[in-house]
Chains A and B, each alone.
Chain A
Amino acid sequence: MTPAGLSVEVSDGALVTGARAAAAAGIVVDLRRDAWGHGIDAGVRALLAAGVDRACVEPADAPRLRAAGLHGVAPHGDSAVFYGLSAGADPAMHASSCILSTKPLRAGEGVSYGYTHRAAADTWIGLVAGGYGQGVARALGNRISVCVEGRMCPVVGRIAMDVCVVDLGPDGSSVVPGAPVSLFGGDGPARRSLDSWAEATGWTRAELAGVIGACVPRRSVA
């Protein structure tokens, strides 16, 4: 088993699809800031695979990318199309974590700083690796749900720097440490959760996903 924590997978296939859609719409993709936290290499690979030879890149990356066949130009249009970060879109990035431990929470008991959540009835809660230190915006506490073993479970209480807490429901004792937690993206019920993240914070999908991608371990998948 690998060390527990929040991590992201970036889908090459989704980025290639996004590259084609962006090109068709006349968008010049913004690859700055490590391809919005998706990884510059994955971004370049997808654009080249889609036959695109121009993008907005960091000045420091420009010579290397020009040699690879990608020319640095000014951005144009909304690059969210490339990353699947438009409203209602499926993101190329999948953020997931795991349950570290579970415990009962009794009716009336509070959770996390300030006790901003109190249990309405006896339930089980799970401690999830990942907090605002990994880019999970602190404002999301009590505002979103994440997917645990196929079920959407609300994040309860303030999000801490390194962890958050989910309400697993009265049957939550069956969830074991190490159980996967999907935050957004992928192909489960949390696929389009960034829409609710954006609504809860007023922040952009790009920064909500991109800072997580920049902060945590990342790998490319097909």
Chain B
Amino acid sequence: MPARLAVDLDRLRENLATVRRTVSPAETLFVVKNDAYGHGLEPVAEAASAAGIDWFGSFDIDSGLRVRRVVGGGSRIFAWTTILDADSLQGAADADLDLGVGDAAYLERIIAADRHLRVHLKVDTGLHRNGVRPEEWSDVVARAARAEADGRIRVVGLWTHIAETSDADDDASRALFLDAVAIARAAGLTPDVRHLAASAAAFARPEFRDDLVRVGAFGYGIRSAGGPDLPGISPAATLVADVIDVAGDRVVIDIGSLDGVPSALGGRVTVGTDAGARRLLTVDGATSTVAGYPGARVEDRVYIFGPGAHGEHSATTVAESIDTVGEELLVRLRPGLERSYTGAITPR
């Protein structure tokens, strides 16, 4: 078999069960953007839906359409990229997506589309990416309330995203968020859900859970960089390569930097082999080299990252060796790289 990302759907479901149990009574929105963090959108969305997830986060419209085809009607799909073109807005309406809106000009485009789209208004509480600045919030919610009264949109959610810089900064962001919620209610908006927490804050800060938490990383078992391992959360994916040559004191494997494994990892980490952990020596374009071991043979497997069954580190531990996050190692994997699946998708 060629190099592949092997995904254990049972483990994914266990992670999601841990997330749901931890954040309850808040609901769990499972983020499946970027091809489900590289794990493959369709199998992951199907398994998550079967496990009882009924809120999905797709970021973009195309991914939202793909989720809708898998999960059918009923589930809510939240897409929060800023859409510039009218065709994509029509597609969002046809697929019954919930739109995240953090920009006054984008709100105007949705109002102009007049498709009674469900909108979650986003306030910027310090991250300064997408999000309406607090000083503009009153005008934006007033505009949204008028458009809702005219039947052009429905404001169903209020949200923000926090910087996770420090607890104090996050507390300041939450205070701004609560102010924004009060201002929106005073303007006549009656949203169903408020949400600000992603994986880390949803676990570490119970008061941040509100009605809904947006969880990506922990669902896939990706530990926060610099954060603790958590009971009931473990990597769902193993990046597996095959030995294609045994050359002296090293083996050559069929995965490299053009597959999305950063070349900077060469010499910095160990990987799993049938003989336990061995040093990853170099990451080249289409291949890499690993320190050899007794009895090494072509077609042996090497495990770049995963849950640790063969001595491999987690994606996050590997990523920390080059000062990045586990998520990057997963989403950087070339889309054409094979994905394989184990574990049952059982209907709920």
Contact = CB atoms under 8 A, between A and B. Distances in A.
**Chain B interface mostly:** loop
5 contacts: A113-B127, A132-B328, A138-B328, A203-B263, A214-B334
A33 B34 contact: no
A202 B265 CA distance: 11
Contact of B334 (A33, A98, A104): A33
A207 B130 contact: no
Interface string B118-131: 00000010111110
Nearest to A215: B335
A13 to B, nearest CB: 23
A207 B129 contact: no
Given A3-B61, A211-B260, A109 B285 contact: no
Contacts of A101: 82, 102-103, 105-106, 130
B321 interface: no
Contacts of B128: 103, 105, 109-112, 125, 157, 165
Give the size category of B's interface with A. 35 or more
Nearest to B105: A177
Nearest to A164: B129
Interface string A18-51: 0000000000001011101100000000000000
A135 B332 contact: yes
Contacts of B325: 138
B308 interface: no
Nearest to B216: A161
Contacts of A207: 257-258, 260, 262-263, 285
A32 B286 contact: yes
B190 to A, nearest CB: 26
Given A132-B328, A161-B34, 17 more contacts: A4-B82, A5-B60, A32-B285, A33-B286, A100-B103, A101-B106, A109-B128, A111-B129, A112-B163, A113-B164, A114-B165, A161-B331, A162-B33, A207-B262, A207-B263, A211-B332, A214-B260
Interface in B130-167: 130, 133, 163-165
A204 B260 CA distance: 12
A190 interface: no
Contact of A165 (B103, B129, B169): B129
Interface stretch (B9-17, B46-54, B83-91, B233-241): B83-91
A221 B143 CA distance: 43
Interface string A172-203: 00000110000000000000000000000111
A28 B130 CA distance: 46
Most chain A CB within 10 A, of B60, B127, B164, B327, is at B127
Contact of A129 (B81, B257, B264, B327): B81
Interface residues of A, number: 51
Contacts of A204: 257, 263, 285
B225 to A, nearest CB: 10
Interface of B: 33-34, 59-62, 81-88, 102-103, 105-106, 124, 126-130, 133, 163-165, 169, 256-260, 262-264, 285-286, 322-325, 327-328, 331-332, 334-336
A113 B130 contact: no
A34 B286 CA distance: 11
A139 B323 contact: yes
A162 B328 CA distance: 11
Given A101-B105, A132-B332, A133-B34, A2 B82 contact: no
Nearest to B135: A104
A206 B264 contact: no
Contact of B59 (A103, A105, A162): A162
A103 B124 contact: yes
A100 B163 contact: no
A14 to B, nearest CB: 19
B263 A127 contact: no
Contacts of B328: 132, 137-138
A161 B57 CA distance: 14
Contacts of B105: 101, 177
A117 B33 CA distance: 26
A160 interface: yes
Contacts of A137: 262, 328
A202 B321 CA distance: 14
